């Protein structure tokens, strides 16, 4: 069929609807390396603007670390650029296996398999492990990639209210006759920044003979005393059967992900997970960079300790200034504005003040829950955070929201 006027109009209308709904996503071009200080071209064609980046997943500030860049160069020189093959034909190098073993050791699991991304890991893992005799029971706020992965799997699925242990227990009772029951949660929830109650979830899994799956993409490298992740923080290392995580956030921020966990489960993924079977894995240059990230992390907890200190400063600063933030301890700190137009206006004013922080609203978060999601990094120095805080306070004052309750903000701006 040709690309007819009718089809063209069909897509143009859909794009118009997206624009009219105010949810059209635009890219902002960064003309520098990823870091706390970046130079941005926005809107497209405008002069470059120096801003402080408050919305990257660069939690440990390793995206442009000189040692990681050096290791990546060496990887490029010694192992080349691409593999031109999937893993099981001729696409596996010694360093791919080395990285799998380093991840296994770091997370305290039995084995690990790399995927091109954590999105791919989540897309492939459920279908590889479960069939219609099984059930997946997921927290209602799990990441979109998990939802897509569950859609690809023939097992039955059910959900429990976000972090509601009583509700999870009801669901485990409801489905107790299923062959395999897999409880699925994020370790740190990306929109709210709160941590899963993994200790309680693991205890319920024990009681009801269920397996436990955790996506720790927003935790690996910095949550827990030595940065192993949410399972370390909650004291359940060794009790999580499947962990998926990414190298695209704290662990160097380039790309790639993995499934780590029970030996047989990882082996099943190596036999059946389609994104592993039908796609090239992570490029050698990225593998070499991530290996250096693990060298840095295993040498010292300095970076995650700094991140923790920065996070405490930022959370206290915003709270003392009179903003409503989602409570918690992770470096994801959502500033709640509830009204979508207000979130957009605040984001724009912050940008004019030299602070890059994005507004999130429906359908990314529930209706009436619009917010600015800020993300703290070990790459932020105190001067960055102080400057950002001052800008937030100026913008907060302009919109007269400091010290207001949720009800007051809604009364002033609507939902």
Structure tokens given for 234: 């909650």
From candidates 37, 69, 74, 162, binder to other proteins by CB under 8 A: 162
* Contact by Cβ (8 Å): 120, 275: yes
3-state SS class at 24: coil
Least gap, CB of 275 to other proteins (angstroms): 21
65 binds other proteins (CB under 8 A): no
Which of 65, 181, 218, 231 is an active site residue? 218
**Contact positions with other proteins (CB under 8 A) in 313-372:** 362-363, 366-368
3-state SS class at 113: strand
Contacts of residue 246, defined as CB under 8 A and 6 or more positions apart, other chains included, come to 117, 118, 217, 220, 256, 257
Least gap, CB of 393 to other proteins (angstroms): 28
- What sign does the CA torsion over 141, 142, 143, 147 have? negative
37 binds other proteins (CB under 8 A): no
Residue ranges with strand state E in 147-256? 156-160, 181-186, 211-215, 242-246
Query: Residue 90, Cα to own-chain centre: how many angstroms?
Result: 31
Least gap, CB of 158 to other proteins (angstroms): 4
169 binds other proteins (CB under 8 A): no
From candidates 39, 74, 110, 158, binder to other proteins by CB under 8 A: 158
Least gap, CB of 5 to other proteins (angstroms): 31
Contacts of residue 214, defined as CB under 8 A and 6 or more positions apart, other chains included, come to 185, 186, 187, 196, 198, 229, 230, 231, 240, 242, 243, 244
- By beta-carbon proximity to other proteins, the closer residue of 208 and 362 is 362
147 binds other proteins (CB under 8 A): yes
140 binds other proteins (CB under 8 A): yes
* Contact by Cβ (8 Å): 57, 253: yes
412 binds other proteins (CB under 8 A): no
* Contact by Cβ (8 Å): 294, 106: yes
- By beta-carbon proximity to other proteins, the closer residue of 168 and 214 is 168
Which of 249, 306, 326, 384 is an active site residue? 249
Which of 117, 190, 220, 377 is an active site residue? 190
403 binds other proteins (CB under 8 A): no
- By beta-carbon proximity to other proteins, the closer residue of 168 and 254 is 168
Q: Which residues are catalytic?
A: 190, 218, 249
Note the residues at the interface with other proteins (CB under 8 A): 138, 140, 147, 150, 156-159, 161-162, 171, 174, 362-363, 366-368
């Amino acid at each position: 069929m040709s690309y007819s006027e009718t089809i063209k109009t069909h897509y143009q209308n859909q794009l118009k609807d997206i624009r009219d709904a105010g949810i059209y996503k635009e890219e902002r071009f960064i003309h520098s390396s990823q870091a706390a200080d970046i130079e941005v071209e926005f809107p497209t064609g405008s002069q470059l603007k120096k801003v402080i980046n408050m919305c990257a997943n660069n939690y440990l500030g390793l995206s442009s670390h000189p040692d990681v860049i050096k290791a990546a160069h060496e990887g490029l020189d010694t192992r080349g650029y691409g593999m031109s093959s999937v893993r099981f034909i001729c696409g596996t190098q010694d360093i791919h296996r080395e990285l799998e073993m380093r991840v296994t050791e770091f997370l305290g699991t039995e084995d690990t398999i790399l995927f091109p991304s954590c999105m791919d890991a989540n897309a492939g893992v459920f279908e590889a492990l479960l069939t219609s005799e099984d059930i997946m029971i997921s927290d209602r706020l799990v990441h979109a990639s998990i939802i897509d992965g569950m859609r690809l799997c023939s097992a039955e699925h059910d959900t429990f209210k976000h972090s509601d242990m009583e509700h999870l227990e009801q669901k485990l009772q409801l489905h107790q006759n299923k062959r395999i029951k897999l409880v699925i949660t994020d370790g740190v929830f990306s929109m709210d920044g709160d941590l899963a109650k993994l200790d309680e979830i693991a205890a319920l899994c024990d009681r009801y003979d269920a397996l436990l799956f955790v996506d720790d993409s927003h935790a690996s490298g910095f949550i827990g005393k030595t940065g192993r992740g949410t399972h370390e923080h909650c004291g359940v290392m060794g009790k999580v059967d499947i962990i998926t995580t990414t190298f695209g956030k704290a662990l160097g921020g380039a790309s790639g992900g993995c499934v780590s966990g029970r030996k047989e489960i990882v082996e099943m993924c190596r036999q059946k997970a389609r994104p592993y079977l039908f796609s090239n894995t992570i490029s050698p240059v990225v593998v070499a960079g991530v290996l250096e990230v693990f060298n840095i992390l295993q040498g010292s907890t300095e970076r995650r300790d700094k991140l923790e200190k920065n996070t405490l400063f930022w959370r206290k600063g915003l709270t003392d200034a009179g903003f409503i933030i989602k409570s918690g301890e992770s470096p994801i700190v959502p500033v709640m504005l509830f009204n979508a137009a207000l979130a957009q206006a605040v984001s724009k004013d912050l940008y004019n003040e030299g602070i890059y922080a994005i507004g999130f609203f429906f359908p990314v978060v529930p209706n009436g829950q619009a917010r600015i999601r800020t993300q703290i990094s070990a790459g932020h120095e105190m001067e960055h955070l102080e400057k950002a805080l001052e800008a937030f306070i100026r913008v907060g004052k302009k919109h007269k929201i400091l010290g207001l309750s949720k009800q007051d903000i809604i009364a002033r701006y609507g939902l």
